Chain A
Amino acid sequence: MTDANDSDAGTNDATPPENDGQRFDRLPATAAERVVPGRPTREEVVGWWEQRYGVPPETWEGHTFWEKGNGKLWAFAADVVSPIAVEGLGLRILRTRQEHWKPSTNAVQRFATEATKNVVVLDGDEATRFAKGEDQELPRWDGDWGYVVAAHEIAGAVEPIGVGLYLHGELRSTVPKGRREDLS
């Protein structure tokens, strides 16, 4: 690969290169530039946030996207050499390479403030239970099933709290253990 815009570093050997979980590799811009099988493209990631949550594509203009580990995607506010062997690069935004892509709590808090779709706005008690990591019945939601943005109103605007999994009338909190808080 000589194209500087394509960091999906690989060779032209008969067997395609595999994802190396120990380092960060920049995502290819489009499917045509993909070298590592199964690696999402920048286009797919931007499109997924827009399609699923209505997050405007411009949100990501200043960020490069990277994969480390098995489908862990990171957004970084600048560009650096690829691959790069560092411990962390920006913010972990998304888990791919599974049937349903799952955004991270921190990504939703940072990037889903302008989300317009699949946003479940919780009242005070519901928000508190969600932040504690509790699952709750929520029969009033008639949007999509799957991973939703759980939000509440605070200081004059709706703010994302984290990622919920909505299934069979129940909203499950996916707030990681280390971020759960009893705010009652």
Chain B
Amino acid sequence: MQPLERYASLLDDYDAFRTACERPLPSVVRVNTLKASIERARDALDAEGVAYEATDWHPGVLRLDERGPGTSWPYFHGWLHGQEEVSALPALALDPQPGEVVWDACAAPGSKTTQIADLMDDTGVLVGNDNNLGRLSALRHNAERLGITNLAVTNQDARNFSFKPFGDRTEDEKRIEAFDRALVDAPCSCEGTIRKNPDALARWSMEHVKGIVGIQKGILRRAIQATRPGGTVVYSTCTFAPEENEAVLDHALDEANCEIVEWDAPEGFETDPGITEWNGEEYDSSVELAHRVYPHRNDTGGFFCAKLEVTA
């Protein structure tokens, strides 16, 4: 767990952070309200004797006491979806509205995508993209199990995503040429998933971080370009590395038409602000509006999330 020592200077309770990183994560499910109300899903779990506890900050995000989410009737019916607690954050920051046109740039396997569809009440157009065809089948499987019908699945490199399949630059009145909102849940070094996957950092290297930063910048740039002025872009990773987080936002602020906007994490969910300085580099002061999620704060995985508005 060498990489995590880099963050000792950012935390006044580093020991608590390290201890939390060594604990396994609880099994967590999100209620899919497209198919069942939170109350009905809970009733079904109660009837089966599956013990759970609602999280402090979201009535539809439930921590199960024991067994995996797959072996219960409400799961079979698509009322529940296994989703790590902290990963429910970016879709809430995105705040998609029914009827909008929304892009999930790195969608597979689809926990956040299906949550976005739920927030859109399964209306409008949700474009779920991923560059990996194998993982796309998992996305489709999950979306269909949850009964989602507003999802169009595409297989493109998000860095140069094309609207061509959607009739871009034609006269067709049904063409799509811009998104109202976009989520960039970027590929990353996954330091924050250590509690789920203890091997997550086995192949960590600064070279890998540097390589992936280029991809993150490319996807975020394309998301900002593809979103209409006034629209929203959310950038998230499951890592702590400032090189992949604040530095990528700082680069986007320099290069693209956007600004970081304030977004309050849900009540009962504790986050730390983005950092403006790292290893001698200084970042735009607005990166403080981003959210760092450390495992010991809410007993979750680690995460990073920022909300941007596209400017003209």
Please judge, given known A-B contacts A81-B167, A131-B76, A154-B73, whether A87 and B43 are in contact too, CB under 8 Å. Answer: no
B169-183 interface mask toward A, CB cutoff 8 Å, 1 = contact, 0 = none? 010111110000000
Contacts of A89 in B (CB 8 A): 152-153
Does A84 contact B71, Cβ atoms closer than 8 Å? Answer: no
Whether the pair B77, A78 counts as a contact (CB closer than 8 A) is no
Give the shortest distance, in Å, between B67 (CB) and chain A (any CB): 11
Q: Is A25 an interface residue (CB 8 A)?
A: no
Q: Is the CB of B153 within 8 A of A178?
A: no
Cα-based distance from A84 to B35 in the complex (angstroms): 28
Asked whether B122 is an interface residue with its Cβ less than 8 Å from the other chain, the reply is yes
Contact with B along A118-135 (1 / 0, CB 8 A): 000000000000010000
**Roughly how many angstroms separate A179 CA and B192 CA in the complex, as a whole number?**
30
Complex formed: what's the CA distance from A168 to B190 in Å? 54
CB–CB B125/A90 < 8 A:
no
Tell yes or no: B40 within 8 A of A by CB: yes
Q: Determine whether the beta carbon of B71 is less than 8 Å from that of A181.
A: yes
Interface residues on A, range: 35 or more
Known contacts A106-B144, A109-B147; A155 and B44 CB within 8 A of each other: yes
CB of A179 within 8 A of CB of B145, answer yes
**B70 within 8 Å of A (CB atoms):** yes
Q: Is A169 engaged at the interface, CB distance under 8 Å to the other chain?
A: no
A27 to chain B, nearest CB (A): 15
- Least Cβ distance of A114 to chain B in Å? 14
How many angstroms between the C-alpha atoms of A184 and B186 in the bound complex?
A: 39
User: Do A91 and B76 touch across chains, with their CB atoms under 8 A apart?
Assistant: no
Per-position binary interface string of chain B over residues 141-155, scored 1 when its CB falls under 8 Å from any chain A CB and 0 otherwise: 101110111111111
Q: Is B312 an interface residue (CB 8 A)?
A: no
Q: Does B124 lie within 8 Å of A178, measured CB to CB?
A: no
Q: Is B167 a contact of A80 with CB atoms below 8 Å?
A: yes
Contact B124 A78 (CB under 8 A): yes
Residues of A within 8 A of B7 (CB): none
* Min CB–CB distance A168 → chain B (angstroms): 27
Residues of A within 8 A of B36 (CB): 155
The contact of A154 among B44, B70, B136, B172, by CB within 8 Å, is B44
CB of B10 within 8 Å of the partner chain: no
Closest to A104 in B: B144
A91 to B170, CA, bound (A): 27
Quick check: B147 and A155 within 8 Å, CB to CB? Answer: no
> Judging by beta carbons under 8 Å apart, are A109 and B78 in contact?
yes
For B121, the closest partner residue in chain A by CB is A77
Quote the shortest CB–CB distance from B155 to chain A (angstroms): 5
Mask of B257-297 contacts with A, CB within 8 angstroms, 1/0: 00000000000000000000000000000000000000000
Please state if B151 and A90 are interface contacts (CB–CB under 8 Å): yes
Interface residues of B (CB under 8 A from A): 35-36, 40-41, 43-44, 47, 70-78, 122-125, 128, 133, 136, 139-141, 143-145, 147-155, 165-167, 170, 172-176
The 10 closest A-B pairs by CB, nearest first: A88-B153, A110-B147, A81-B167, A77-B150, A155-B44, A155-B43, A87-B153, A90-B149, A77-B149, A106-B144
B-contacting residues of A (Cβ < 8 Å)? 4, 62-63, 75-82, 84-92, 104, 106, 109-110, 131, 154-156, 159, 161, 178-179, 181-183
Other than the known A78-B150, A106-B145, what 14 A-B pairs have Cβ atoms closer than 8 Å? A77-B150, A80-B125, A80-B166, A85-B165, A86-B153, A87-B153, A87-B155, A88-B143, A90-B148, A110-B78, A131-B76, A154-B73, A181-B71, A183-B76
27 contacts between A and B (CB under 8 A): A63-B149, A76-B150, A76-B152, A77-B122, A77-B123, A80-B152, A80-B167, A80-B174, A81-B175, A86-B152, A89-B152, A89-B153, A90-B148, A92-B144, A106-B78, A110-B35, A154-B44, A155-B41, A155-B43, A155-B74, A159-B77, A161-B76, A179-B76, A181-B70, A181-B71, A182-B71, A183-B72
